[in-house]
Amino acid sequence: MLLINKPNNTLSYYGRKLNLDLAFDTVLRVFKLLKEDLFSDAEKFNIALEMFITNYKSIEKYSYEKKADILKTIFAEFINSKEKNKSSGKKTFDFFQDADFIYASFFQAYHIDLIEQQGKMPWQKFIALFQGLPADTKICEVISIRMREIPEATKYNAKEIQALNEAKRMYALKAETCDSESSFQEDINRFGAMLIQSAVTKER
């Protein structure tokens, strides 16, 4: 995100101007869409495009190859971070399971009510603020607990180990959302790749 430019919400595709809804809650709804069992892969593909493109009717009759290219471009240019994450480990947070913690942390750190910001705050701004949350916010405390290693037992630290294990159990992510090891950015990339690939494969 460049401080000298306002967020760009349009995509030009073969001379056609596509108006994009890139509010943070829209992007998260697309991510959530991938976990739904109610829709086929092809349905998820079209729903995602309808959610992102406010003038979707203008491309409704495009081929699946063109639609896949548009969706890939949206992820590449507007959603995926340009910065590479050097570390990779077990998943330490989930936007949906940790929604209350994230909401509280934004309010604590920035006095921002994310409910009021739905449909307003751009995804890039949301991610920049999320990544900049201070260590004393609730979500950062929870992530720290999940990442913390259990120390080697000694005759002096039994209570410390017990307390940490209890905290880890309290804040543990459900298994279905942390079954793979990925960094934050890898997770976003995986969401985008899954949506594009599943849709294209479905239609061939």
In a domain, 2, yes or no: no
> Are 189 and 126 in a shared domain?
no
Domain span including residue 55: 10-84+185-203
Q: What is the CA radius of gyration of the chain?
A: 20
- Contacts of residue 63, Cβ cutoff 8 Å, sequence gap at least 6: none
Residue labelled with tokens 């001379």 = 15
For the CA atoms of 191, 96, 160, 147, what is the dihedral angle to 10 degrees? 20
- Give me the pLDDT at residue 105, please: 98
Calpha distance 29→42 (Å, rounded)? 17
Tens of pLDDT, residues 65-98: 888 889 889 988 898 865 544 444 578 999 999 9
Q: What global pTM score does this model have?
A: 0.80
* Backbone CA torsion sign across 75, 77, 81, 82: positive
pLDDT surpasses 80 at 196: no
Give the 3-state secondary structure of 185-196.
Answer: HHHHHHHHHHHH
134 token code pair: 């201070």
Q: Is residue 92 part of a domain?
A: no
